[in-house]
Amino acid sequence: MSAAYEVAARVRDPELPVLTLADLGVLRDVTESGGRVSVTITPTYSGCPALDEMGADLRRSLLEAGFAEVEVRTSLSPAWTTDWISEDGLRKLREAGIAPPSRLGPRVAGPVPLNLVPPPRRVSCPRCGSARTAELSRFGSTACKALRRCADCDEPFEHVKEI
Protein backbone atom coordinates (compact mmCIF):
# COMPACT_ATOMS: atom_id res chain seq x y z
CA MET A 1 0.00 0.00 0.00
CA SER A 2 1.54 3.31 -1.08
CA ALA A 3 2.24 6.24 1.24
CA ALA A 4 -0.21 8.36 -0.77
CA TYR A 5 -2.95 5.76 -0.33
CA GLU A 6 -2.39 5.71 3.41
CA VAL A 7 -2.75 9.49 3.64
CA ALA A 8 -5.88 9.50 1.46
CA ALA A 9 -7.42 6.58 3.34
CA ARG A 10 -7.18 8.44 6.66
CA VAL A 11 -9.22 11.46 5.45
CA ARG A 12 -12.57 11.54 7.23
CA ASP A 13 -16.04 11.82 5.78
CA PRO A 14 -17.31 15.36 6.44
CA GLU A 15 -20.83 14.21 7.37
CA LEU A 16 -19.97 10.95 9.12
CA PRO A 17 -16.64 11.90 10.70
CA VAL A 18 -16.37 8.57 12.54
CA LEU A 19 -15.64 7.03 9.14
CA THR A 20 -12.61 7.52 6.93
CA LEU A 21 -13.14 7.72 3.19
CA ALA A 22 -11.66 4.22 2.99
CA ASP A 23 -14.18 2.92 5.56
CA LEU A 24 -17.02 4.51 3.59
CA GLY A 25 -15.84 2.85 0.39
CA VAL A 26 -15.80 6.02 -1.71
CA LEU A 27 -12.05 5.93 -2.23
CA ARG A 28 -11.71 4.01 -5.49
CA ASP A 29 -8.10 4.47 -6.52
CA VAL A 30 -4.90 6.27 -5.53
CA THR A 31 -1.93 6.39 -7.90
CA GLU A 32 1.32 8.23 -7.39
CA SER A 33 4.27 8.94 -9.58
CA GLY A 34 7.03 11.47 -9.03
CA GLY A 35 5.18 13.35 -6.28
CA ARG A 36 2.04 13.64 -8.40
CA VAL A 37 -0.98 11.94 -6.84
CA SER A 38 -4.25 11.09 -8.55
CA VAL A 39 -7.15 10.12 -6.28
CA THR A 40 -10.44 8.73 -7.58
CA ILE A 41 -13.55 9.01 -5.42
CA THR A 42 -17.17 8.13 -6.12
CA PRO A 43 -20.25 10.05 -4.88
CA THR A 44 -22.60 8.33 -2.45
CA TYR A 45 -25.65 10.21 -3.83
CA SER A 46 -25.99 12.37 -6.99
CA GLY A 47 -26.67 15.51 -4.98
CA CYS A 48 -24.36 14.74 -2.06
CA PRO A 49 -22.84 18.10 -1.04
CA ALA A 50 -20.06 16.31 0.86
CA LEU A 51 -18.27 15.27 -2.33
CA ASP A 52 -16.59 18.64 -2.79
CA GLU A 53 -15.53 18.69 0.84
CA MET A 54 -14.00 15.25 0.40
CA GLY A 55 -12.05 16.47 -2.61
CA ALA A 56 -10.81 19.57 -0.77
CA ASP A 57 -9.84 17.55 2.31
CA LEU A 58 -7.98 14.99 0.19
CA ARG A 59 -6.10 17.70 -1.63
CA ARG A 60 -5.15 19.47 1.60
CA SER A 61 -4.06 16.30 3.40
CA LEU A 62 -1.92 15.09 0.51
CA LEU A 63 -0.27 18.48 -0.01
CA GLU A 64 0.45 18.68 3.73
CA ALA A 65 1.97 15.20 3.55
CA GLY A 66 4.46 16.56 1.03
CA PHE A 67 3.07 15.48 -2.32
CA ALA A 68 3.69 18.17 -4.90
CA GLU A 69 0.56 17.86 -6.99
CA VAL A 70 -2.85 16.36 -6.29
CA GLU A 71 -5.62 15.60 -8.74
CA VAL A 72 -9.02 14.39 -7.51
CA ARG A 73 -11.10 12.51 -10.03
CA THR A 74 -14.76 11.47 -9.75
CA SER A 75 -15.94 8.08 -10.88
CA LEU A 76 -19.70 7.65 -11.33
CA SER A 77 -19.66 4.05 -12.43
CA PRO A 78 -19.93 1.54 -10.85
CA ALA A 79 -22.33 3.38 -8.57
CA TRP A 80 -21.55 3.42 -4.85
CA THR A 81 -23.42 1.01 -2.64
CA THR A 82 -23.51 0.73 1.14
CA ASP A 83 -22.03 -2.75 0.61
CA TRP A 84 -18.72 -0.93 0.06
CA ILE A 85 -18.64 0.29 3.68
CA SER A 86 -15.94 -1.82 5.33
CA GLU A 87 -16.57 -4.17 8.27
CA ASP A 88 -14.52 -1.74 10.33
CA GLY A 89 -16.77 1.07 9.12
CA LEU A 90 -19.91 -0.80 10.20
CA ARG A 91 -18.45 -1.27 13.67
CA LYS A 92 -17.46 2.41 13.97
CA LEU A 93 -20.97 3.51 12.96
CA ARG A 94 -22.51 1.25 15.61
CA GLU A 95 -20.12 2.58 18.24
CA ALA A 96 -21.13 6.14 17.30
CA GLY A 97 -24.81 5.34 17.90
CA ILE A 98 -25.69 5.05 14.21
CA ALA A 99 -27.21 1.77 13.03
CA PRO A 100 -25.13 0.47 10.11
CA PRO A 101 -26.71 -0.72 6.85
CA SER A 102 -27.24 -4.41 6.29
CA ARG A 103 -25.56 -6.05 3.32
CA LEU A 104 -27.57 -6.03 0.11
CA GLY A 105 -25.53 -8.51 -1.90
CA PRO A 106 -25.35 -8.55 -5.70
CA ARG A 107 -28.07 -6.67 -7.53
CA VAL A 108 -30.70 -8.85 -9.18
CA ALA A 109 -31.14 -8.19 -12.90
CA GLY A 110 -34.49 -7.00 -14.28
CA PRO A 111 -36.91 -4.23 -13.29
CA VAL A 112 -36.40 -2.66 -9.87
CA PRO A 113 -39.01 -4.17 -7.53
CA LEU A 114 -41.67 -1.84 -6.14
CA ASN A 115 -42.01 -1.75 -2.33
CA LEU A 116 -45.54 -0.83 -1.27
CA VAL A 117 -44.61 -1.28 2.35
CA PRO A 118 -41.16 -0.47 3.69
CA PRO A 119 -39.14 -3.70 3.44
CA PRO A 120 -38.86 -5.32 6.85
CA ARG A 121 -35.29 -4.85 7.95
CA ARG A 122 -33.89 -6.13 11.16
CA VAL A 123 -32.20 -3.00 12.42
CA SER A 124 -30.94 -3.35 15.96
CA CYS A 125 -30.84 -0.38 18.31
CA PRO A 126 -27.21 0.77 18.45
CA ARG A 127 -27.66 1.77 22.12
CA CYS A 128 -29.35 -1.21 23.76
CA GLY A 129 -29.19 -3.84 21.03
CA SER A 130 -32.94 -4.45 20.97
CA ALA A 131 -34.37 -5.68 17.69
CA ARG A 132 -37.70 -3.96 18.40
CA THR A 133 -37.14 -0.82 16.37
CA ALA A 134 -39.33 1.02 13.86
CA GLU A 135 -38.66 3.49 11.09
CA LEU A 136 -39.89 7.01 11.86
CA SER A 137 -38.80 8.54 8.60
CA ARG A 138 -37.01 7.19 5.55
CA PHE A 139 -35.29 10.57 5.18
CA GLY A 140 -33.06 11.90 7.93
CA SER A 141 -30.48 14.60 8.54
CA THR A 142 -28.46 13.61 5.48
CA ALA A 143 -29.43 11.85 2.25
CA CYS A 144 -27.85 8.61 3.41
CA LYS A 145 -29.66 8.24 6.75
CA ALA A 146 -33.13 7.25 7.95
CA LEU A 147 -34.54 7.99 11.39
CA ARG A 148 -35.68 5.12 13.64
CA ARG A 149 -36.81 4.61 17.23
CA CYS A 150 -36.19 1.80 19.65
CA ALA A 151 -39.32 0.42 21.36
CA ASP A 152 -37.32 -0.81 24.36
CA CYS A 153 -35.06 2.08 25.33
CA ASP A 154 -37.31 4.66 23.63
CA GLU A 155 -34.34 6.41 22.05
CA PRO A 156 -34.46 7.69 18.48
CA PHE A 157 -31.42 6.85 16.38
CA GLU A 158 -30.11 7.21 12.84
CA HIS A 159 -29.69 4.37 10.40
CA VAL A 160 -27.49 4.44 7.32
CA LYS A 161 -30.00 3.13 4.81
CA GLU A 162 -29.13 0.47 2.33
CA ILE A 163 -28.60 1.62 -1.23
Binding site for other proteins (CB under 8 A): 14-15, 40, 43, 45-50, 52-53, 55-57, 71-81, 111-112, 114-118, 136-141, 143, 147, 163
Min CB(1)–other proteins separation in Å: 22
Pick 34 or 110: Cβ nearer other proteins: 110
State how far the Cα of 118 lies from the Cα of 113, in Å rounded to an integer: 12
CA torsion through residues 7, 9, 15, 18, sign: negative
Which amino acid is present at 73? R
Pick 1 or 109: Cβ nearer other proteins: 109
Min CB(138)–other proteins separation in Å: 6
3-state SS assignment for residue 90: helix
Min CB(72)–other proteins separation in Å: 6
Main-chain phi, psi angles of 79, to 5 degrees: -70, 145
State how far the Cα of 107 lies from the Cα of 85, in Å rounded to an integer: 16
Query: What is the CB-side half-sphere exposure of residue 47 using CA atoms within 13 A?
Result: 3
Min CB(54)–other proteins separation in Å: 10
Min CB(89)–other proteins separation in Å: 19
Pick 126 or 140: Cβ nearer other proteins: 140
3-state SS assignment for residue 28: strand
Pick 9 or 128: Cβ nearer other proteins: 9
Q: Are 6 and 39 in contact (CB under 8 A)?
A: no
Pick 28 or 128: Cβ nearer other proteins: 28
